[in-house]
Chains A and B, each alone.
Chain A
Amino acid sequence: EPEVTQTPSHQVTQMGQEVILRCVPISNHLYFYWYRQILGQKVEFLVSFYNNEISEKSEIFDDQFSVERPDGSNFTLKIRSTKLEDSAMYFCANRSRTSGGVYNEQFFGPGTRLTVL
């Protein structure tokens, strides 16, 4: 069964540095999402992406964040000038669409644990 994959599994960075988190979506799943989960807290929506455009974003997704699909397959989340409070698990999720309608179900990747020191 195809799965969403994410790299790296763990990223340690210094405050103020830039990080890029990568996601390889399930083939033919055209809708992409990023969520984050701070330790002990809720999973929170960051951004959704379809057809090379952001379709929705949350208040968390400010100018510090950006997303792109640089090569038509990978899907990246860039965090510029990381802060201590950016430490969290970052999950990529995929949603499929079929000709019969739109599927709502989102499938999550294994996540990247980001630690900002």
Chain B
Amino acid sequence: QKEVEQNSGPLSVPEGAIASLNCTYSDRGSQSFFWYRQYSGKSPELIMSIYSNGDKEDGRFTAQLNKASQYVSLLIRDSQPSDSATYLCAVRSGAGSYQLTFGKGTKLSVIP
């Protein structure tokens, strides 16, 4: 059973701070990793994808992947109140499968 685990939070950070969101996964053969943002009552919105070990930066977002530790994280710099949402970690296992396995998400609250 492939599992993706996230701390459900809520994670509260002050405006302008760095928010750090973490995710672990059980399938060592996983190949692709995604962070989605989901506002309440809305659909998941893709914000980052990462496929190889290391860091990937896109604007205020940095995704970090460590396949040896089966760990992926998302850093949000200069957090804004509009970043308040639930962040979903999703993993594609590979081996010809493109289905995504999602974590339950971490709820982030950015306090003005």
Contact = CB atoms under 8 A, between A and B. Distances in A.
User: Interface size class for chain A?
Assistant: 20 to 34
B43 A104 contact: no
Contacts of A110: 42-43
A43 B36 CA distance: 11
Contacts of B100: 33, 35, 43, 45, 106
A26 to B, nearest CB: 13
Interface in B14-51: 32, 34, 36, 42-46, 49, 51
Interface residues of B, number: 22
B102 A44 contact: yes
Nearest to B105: A42
Interface stretch (B53-61, B63-71, B91-99): B91-99
Given A106-B98, A108-B36, A108-B43, 15 more contacts: A41-B104, A42-B102, A43-B44, A43-B90, A48-B99, A55-B98, A56-B98, A58-B99, A95-B98, A104-B32, A104-B98, A106-B46, A108-B45, A110-B42, A111-B42
Contacts of B44: 43, 91, 108
Contact of B99 (A56, A91, A107, A108): A56
Interface of B: 32, 34, 36, 42-46, 49, 51, 88, 90, 92, 97-105
A35 B104 CA distance: 14
Contacts of B36: 108
Main secondary structure of the interface of B (DSSP, over half): strand
A98 B99 CA distance: 19
B43 A42 contact: no
Interface string A28-65: 00010101000001111100100000011010000000
B98 A105 contact: no
Contacts of B43: 89, 91, 108-111
